[in-house]
Structure 1
Amino acid sequence: MSDAVAPAAETGEAPHYLGHRDRLRARFAQGGADALPDYELLELALFRAIPRRDVKPLAKALIRRFGSFAEVVSAEPARLAEIDGIGPGVIADLKLIEAAGHRLARGAIAERPLLSSWAAVLDYCRATMAFSPREQFRILFLDKRNHLIADEVQGRGTVDHTPVYPREVARRSLELSATAIILAHNHPSGDPAPSAADVKMTREIIGVLDPLRIVVHDHIILGRNGHSSLKGLKLI
């Protein structure tokens, strides 16, 4: 589906949405993102790809379907394309915003000791995983100074399960000469509470890594409604 473009008004008057766009840009310039509800921030994101149409109804339709600005930009392209009026240009712009958010969040943890930058670690994991429609299992590999060596998604699964193999985690940790790791995965249901399977799997990974003197600092579970820390809950 191509991005729909409405014909210009033939009355000689400027279309009504042009004044709305100018006012919205001014409010954003003055107050930033916090001055706008999600649907208006989404309107700003749609302006470039849809230059000659009132995009407020489309922005509201996207919020109704997916729930929030973050969930819209994190949605799978195929699901975005199901919305009437969303074409390749809009999808590309939304995925660019998502990628930019990930890059900014990653920059906040690069070249810094992660254990002393825990809020930035949580922000990064939330930005990259919390709104994903499918489970993914991510590992942050750390050196002896607790600086990030690599950040890798080890597995992607269904809406409620991702297979994880402790020996593969150990193999990759050794390949990277990591001395510690942080585990993270998301719950697409939105509830970040750990399951019995989450705890069991984490303890199995610890059991495999402990003889190799590789420390598991934590296992973070992300959901739309927050996060859980297995270490904070004293489950590991």
Structure 2
Amino acid sequence: MPGQRESNINDFAFDYLCSHYTTNFGAKHLLVEKAVYTRQGHAADGLFSFKKEEDGPFVAALHTANSSKIAAALTRYKKKGLGITRFLSAGLVLVLTGLAVWQLLGQLVTGAVAAVAVAALTFVVHTYLERKYHFSKITSYLNELKRLPANEQWLGISVSSLTFRHNPLAKHLLSVCERRGIGVITVGKRAKVVLMQEPRTLSCRGGDFLSHYQSGDRIRKTLTGDNVLRVA
């Protein structure tokens, strides 16, 4: 029997966020659009807009384009951690350093001590650099959301929520998202959306966030009418 695959976040995120904003925010006229571009040419995979009586248009942006890359990185780290290359590099340095010192000085004990010290240093440095690489890679994926101005930002990932347990890389992702106010939702094999983290609501200084999008004027005009929920 073939293994069950992860569900696609794009098949669930829109319904989930529609329900979220109609239930928690009382959004009566919610406009939902896919592949909406900013004036700088950056794409929001989903844009949720509704009119708040006091504060004007409210905008939420959804990013799922890097879902597969993030999911692969988290799953790989969950299973393998930092891997064995740091052990191999330390072992190689141990042998080469020991042989070099022994041939140059002719002292086996001194060579062994020097080899162990250099190998240990190599292991520590390799571990630090590899960990920094993985963490920086996750951060770079999240930088895409900086280009999507909105009152609330959401990251959607097609991965099981179990991948976040005892996973330092997943903990780093949630930490960065928390600092930046990004909400995180996931969907796994059971096709159930899991809210990993709530977003932080931001206010736009002067005007509204719709002004940052190419279709902002059209969306704003639509929201002032009597349109009901629709997906474009």
With normalisation by structure 2, the TM-score equals 0.23
Higher relative contact order (CA 8 A, sep 6+): 2
Richer in helix (by share): 2
Instruction: Tell me which structure has the larger Cα radius of gyration.
Output: 2
With normalisation by structure 1, the TM-score equals 0.23
